[in-house]
Amino acid sequence: MSLYYHLFNSPFTTDLFSEENMIVTMLKVETALVRAQAEEGIIPRESADKLIELLPHMKVDSDDLRQQLSVTGTPIVGLLNQIKSQLRQRDPEMVNLIHLGATSQDIVDTATVILIADYCDWLSSKLEELKDILVGLVRRNPRSLMVGRTLGQQASLTTFGVRAAHWLGSICRSTIRLEESRTRLNKIQMGGAVGIGNSFLSSNVRHRVAENLGLENAPAWHTQRDNLVALATELGILSGSLGKIAIDIIGLSQSEVMELAEPPGLGRGVSSAMPHKRNPVLSMVIRANSQRTPFLVATMIAGLPQEQERSAGLWQAEWEVFPQIMGLVAGSMEKSIELLGGLEVRTDIMLKNIDRSNGLVFADRVMMALSRTLGKEKAFSLVSQASDRVSNQEPLMLILEELIPELSGEELKNLFEVDPVQRDAENTIREILSQYGYTL
């Protein structure tokens, strides 16, 4: 495991996809199969019961397992070999009762689905945590004025609450879509050699296996991986939405902007060369992850055309990649919670930055207001001319006063009112919140 691994990933997924936990989960699947076959009377109850009790306690030698994996190309053959040699010493009959009718892919895929279910449970709770934090940010800042920026340029006024509401919206949509995707995937894989089952894998047996494992029964999906890939793409989208938050924060915490700052903390973001630096390292990690996940997700999509009843390579290409996606998304979620939970929102600097624009960020609203009397064409042209002349010495208001002498002082002042901005912002926020069951 690389030195850097822990920066980008989460301890939760490190444990979840540890060799140990994967083996435990595979044995859980083999056990559920034995139990199902015993319940259906296909194998002798007594021996099965003993086996069910023993299976979770089998010792597995990692080195041997890896060695056999590299020879057979599947983790199951080696795993079964180890188990059988232990069982053989106790009761040779039990050896005959394991893995009856199943193929390696049945065990590997069902175990993966179980791990994914655990992951999705964890992710759900993290998503709730993140949404709570974001709702808080929105509620505290509905009218906190800030400059809206397009293509890197100061554009027009908005509020920080709107930005946070958009972040929230993306997380809410991800929550909904992820819930759908995980539900669709929540199925056993239990098809035998070529996926049509057999006398040991009757419909009843499969039904019981599913029940034993808390999953749904389903026809085999050995080379029909769309449900899996659909979940992967949703994780990729979540990673991208977190990346959007990160890139926003990186942009707004630039030295020249400083409207946001990552949560302070001892040593947070210090540099080995520059004593004054406070690097936005949480955002940096989230962004780095969002840079990598699209490619991993694409690997999953590219793996869909799996030939015939089992692919020589495309299925196996998923084995490391899907856990990597889950690991990076988990890492990004944890960092996002930390980042947004302690985010410094510098509303004072937001106001200062508005002032520094010398009125330019009011230009489009001023233009629209003037449109009502002058017509849009003339208004656009006048404000455009005025904007070109704006400087520290001559803010927009002053220039307009000169260019449009017929405006009264009151009218001129009204053009630069921020109240309409805040009202529009609040309306936008309310619309977003209400879509997801929140109130302001």
User: Considering only residues 177-236, where is the footprint of its own copies by CB under 8 A?
Assistant: 177, 180, 184, 191-200, 203, 218-221, 223-224, 226-227, 229-230, 233-234, 236
Interface positions, 28-57, toward its own copies (CB under 8 A): none
Q: What is the DSSP string of 198-230?
A: -TTS-HHHHHHHHHHHT-B-----TT--HHHHH
Q: Is 332 in the site for its own copies (CB under 8 A)?
A: no
| Dihedral sign of CA atoms 304, 305, 307, 311 in order | negative
Nearer to its own copies (CB atom), residue 136 or residue 244: 244
Interface residues for its own copies in 90-109 (CB under 8 A)?
Answer: 92-93, 95-104, 107
Residue 250 sits in the site that holds its own copies (CB under 8 A)? yes
Beta strand pairing call for 344-345 and 153-159: unpaired
Q: Which is nearer to its own copies, 182 or 287 (CB)?
A: 287
Question: Which of 141, 241, 332, 336 is close enough to bind its own copies by CB under 8 A?
Answer: 241
Residue 391 φ/ψ, nearest 5 degrees = -150, 175
**SS3 state at 261:** strand
Binding-site member from 73, 140, 214, 401 for its own copies (CB under 8 A): 73
The residue within the footprint of its own copies, chosen from 360, 397, 399, 404 (CB under 8 A), is 360
Element (H, E) at 149: strand 145-150
- At its nearest, how many Å lie between its own copies and the CB of residue 221? 8
Near its own copies by CB under 8 A, which window of 5-13, 49-57, 122-130, 409-417?
A: 5-13
| Residue in 15, 61, 384, 401 binding its own copies, rule: CB under 8 A | 384
Give the shortest CB-305-to-its own copies separation in angstroms. 4
Which span (2-10, 134-142, 343-351, 408-416) binds its own copies, by CB under 8 A?
2-10
What is the longest distance spanned by two Cα atoms in the chain? Answer: 102
Please tell me the distance from the alpha carbon of residue 231 to that of residue 115, in angstroms, as a whole number. 13
Q: Supply 224's token pair.
A: 């029909």
| Residue 419 lies near its own copies (rule: CB under 8 A) | no
Paired residues of 147 in beta bridges? 157
> Per-residue b/e over 48-59, b at no fewer than 16 CB within 10 Å?
bebbbebbeebe
| Candidate residues 24, 247, 407, 412; the one interacting with its own copies per rule CB under 8 A | 247
Q: How many CA atoms lie within 13 A of 111 on its CB side?
A: 26
**Residue 369: which of 422, 403, 417, 405 has the closest Cα?**
417
> In the complex with its own copies, which residue's Cβ is closer, 212 or 253?
253
| CA proximity to 160, closest of 257, 256, 255 | 257
Among 50, 84, 139, 143, binds its own copies (CB under 8 A): 84
Q: Does 305 bind its own copies (CB under 8 A)?
A: yes
405 contributes a contact to its own copies by CB under 8 A: no
Determine phi and psi for 267, rounding to 5 degrees. 80, -5
Nearest-angstrom CA–CA distance, 263 and 258: 13
d(CA 213, CA 425): 48
Out of 61, 140, 254, 411, the only residue in the binding site for its own copies (CB under 8 A) is 254
77 lies in the binding site for its own copies (CB under 8 A): yes
Q: Does 391 bind its own copies (CB under 8 A)?
A: no
> According to CB under 8 A, which one of 28, 166, 182, 208 is a site residue for its own copies?
166
**How near is the Cβ of 155 to its own copies at its closest, in Å?**
5
**Quick one: which of 138, 162, 209, 330 contacts its own copies (CB under 8 A)?**
162
Task: Indicate whether 290 belongs to the interface with its own copies (CB under 8 A).
Answer: yes
Specify the residue, 301 or 440, whose C-beta has the smaller distance to its own copies. 301
Q: Judge whether 151 and 66 are in contact, CB under 8 Å.
A: no
Q: Is 281 in the site for its own copies (CB under 8 A)?
A: yes
**Closest to 107 (Cα-Cα) out of 134, 79, 137, 71:** 79
Q: Count of residues binding its own copies (CB under 8 A)?
A: 186
The yes or no reply on residue 336 touching its own copies (CB under 8 A) is no
Q: Give the helix/strand (H/E) hosting 167.
A: helix 160-185
**Among the listed residues 175, 387, 398, 412, the single contact to its own copies using CB under 8 A:** 387
* Closest to 412 measured CA to CA, from 355, 377, 362: 362
User: Whole-number minimum distance, CB 288 to its own copies, in Å?
Assistant: 4
For its own copies, the closer CB: 125 or 385:
385
User: Binding to its own copies by residue 357, rule CB under 8 A?
Assistant: yes
Q: At what angle do helices 104-140 and 19-39 cross, to 10 degrees?
A: 120
